[in-house]
Homo-oligomer: A and B are copies of this chain.
Amino acid sequence: MRVTVSVAIAGASGYAGGEIARLVLAHPELELGALTAHSNAGESVGAHQPHLAAHPAVAGRRFAPTTAEELAGHDVVVLALPHGASGAVAAELERSSPGCLVVDVGADHRLVDPQAWRDYYGSEHAGTWTYGMPELLHAGETTAARQRAELAGTRRIAVPGCNVTAVTLALQPGIAAGLIEVDDVVAVLAVGYSGAGKAPKTHLLAAEAHGSLVPYGVGGTHRHVPEILQNFGVTGASGTRLSFTPVLVPTSRGILATVTARVKEGVTEADLRAAWDVYERESFVHVLPAGQWPTSAATVGANTVLVQLAHDVRAGRVVVTSALDNLVKGTAGAAVQSLNLALGLPETAGLPITGVAP
């Protein structure tokens, strides 16, 4: 007998919601339940999510309103809502669907420190859920078992920010191995436009974006900063200082992070490569062979992170580059991977790993 897990998506008319739908439709154990929206409630799913057109039974639906009633009765509810909105929905689900697994792909429940939340988001903290990054190394670990243990059996998952995943996975092996200084980390990320969401804004128009390179959130103001510091802290760092700059570049999907930190005295390239071998047992994170560098295209559509590093002896720094698809491993794929763990399914179930490239 096969028991299928029903998954509702709140905020299903946006980019994250549409990508979760794509993954759920291809997942052998999951079944797509309610698709709800706020301002787009009542409108055609296919008109807003044209990539679902080959599923007429889904594309032909209309979005239900995002209410506790519509979301009730599912095994899993994924919240793909603007930040600040998921707390209330989660509270209602607590009452109406107590056993339900709730996965928040928004920011509300990622941070542990309420003050960090207030500093960067300017509102009250909604609380902290189990962090949906299975590969996160806890201090003292040589393999990421502890985060997976936390995810197994949880009923509340906070999916990490896309940039956070790119930076954390790039650098954490060096922190775990004690090979690098964390007091002067610099991360600059080339990022595609889908990460900025689907709400129409002039600076996100195609005419503005094509042929242009656009920095934003410069000078330490980006909301992903405290989350990265938190992750490095989990891995054992203290006193991390991070300069973080994202640059919008003309593509829809993709993050290419360049992350650099000072290498401790006496550490060699071989030491560094050995530390990054921690990923050898991972299904979704791959350090490339020497001489190959990550490209974001190689990860499009896949729950894959590609990593490569170099030791710049003159500069005294390790430079790590990582590539991922912000909507898959950066959002929807991390959600499915984490809910697989929470539900006791194989961690890799339903997750593509081959990039759609070129």
Contacts and interface: CB of A to CB of B under 8 A. Distances in A.
B218 A319 contact: yes
B207 A247 contact: no
A82 interface: no
A68 to B, nearest CB: 27
A251 B206 CA distance: 8
Nearest to A208: B358
A164 B242 CA distance: 25
B213 A356 contact: no
A110 interface: no
A251 B248 CA distance: 12
Contacts of A250: 206, 210, 249-251
A201 interface: yes
A226 to B, nearest CB: 10
Interface string A229-265: 0000000000001111101011111111010101000
A317 to B, nearest CB: 5
Given A192-B207, A304-B53, A295 B212 contact: yes
A219 B312 contact: yes
Given A15-B207, A213-B190, A304-B54, A358 B289 contact: no
A259 to B, nearest CB: 10
B46 A319 contact: no
Interface in A269-322: 283-284, 286, 288-289, 291-302, 304, 306, 308, 310-317, 319, 321
Most buried by B among A25, A190, A200, A323: A190
A52 interface: yes
A4 to B, nearest CB: 18
Most buried by B among A52, A207, A219, A251: A207
Nearest to A214: B295
B207 A354 contact: no
A313 B354 contact: no
Nearest to A325: B356
Task: Give this chain's copy count.
Answer: 4
A208 B206 contact: yes
Interface in A181-216: 184, 186, 188, 190, 192-194, 196, 198-202, 204-216
Contacts of A293: 214-216, 218
A13 to B, nearest CB: 10
A210 B311 CA distance: 29
A276 to B, nearest CB: 14
B198 A207 contact: yes
A356 to B, nearest CB: 4
A253 B358 contact: yes
Given A184-B184, A207-B358, 9 more contacts: A26-B354, A46-B288, A51-B300, A60-B289, A188-B188, A193-B210, A213-B255, A215-B321, A300-B301
Which A-B residue pairs are the 7 nearest by beta carbons? A219-B310, A212-B297, A51-B355, A206-B209, A213-B256, A188-B188, A220-B312
